[in-house]
Copies of this chain bind each other. A is one copy, B any other.
Amino acid sequence: MNETQTVSVDTAPLQLSHFLPYRLSVLSNTISQAIAALYEAEFDLSVWHWRVMAVLGERPGLTAREVTERTAMDKVAVSRAVSALETKGHLERCEDDRDGRALRLFLTDQGKRTYGQVMPRVMAYETELLSSLSERDRRALERVLGALAAATSPEKPLW
């Protein structure tokens, strides 16, 4: 009797479309793309470029290593984004007097101008997005993101 279905019968049926990690991934990618569209074409920036600019706009003078910590990018990606941004004239690297290996990163005036144009759009997008949720659901989302982040953090492995 229908040998070919044995496998799917004795495991829980996975509806990909109901599977949390899958939904999260699709949602996250959709949102990332929508945001990227806010600066990609007009300012010729990639997601990584913008991420680096965003942290430097807030914290001028970080080193590349510090940027990696704050952006969850790996150091190669940061290194490449930084040199691309330097080439474009959005940031400059200044030697650190204390550590001859490190380079402190600063947005140039041009970089700040771009930052000043992109940031409000990005923030507005987030606001718009959150406005589709009730106040209660916003708070719940806050909790859930925290809980899931904690559950998946390397310090406390899940299994």
Contacts and interface: CB of A to CB of B under 8 A. Distances in A.
A116 to B, nearest CB: 4
Nearest to A123: B12
A29 B51 CA distance: 16
A3 to B, nearest CB: 10
A14 B57 contact: yes
Contacts of A151: 128-129, 132
Given A58-B14, A141-B140, A144-B141, A126 B31 contact: no
Interface of A: 4, 6-8, 10-17, 19-32, 34-35, 51, 54-55, 57-58, 60, 70-72, 112-113, 115-116, 119-120, 122-123, 125-126, 128-130, 132-133, 136-137, 140-141, 143-145, 147-153, 158-159
A55 B152 contact: no
Q: Is the interface of A mostly helix, strand, loop or mixed?
A: helix
B60 A27 contact: no
A128 B159 contact: yes
B132 A17 contact: no
B14 A145 contact: no
Nearest to A19: B126
9 contacts: A12-B123, A14-B123, A20-B126, A20-B129, A26-B72, A28-B28, A133-B144, A136-B140, A140-B144
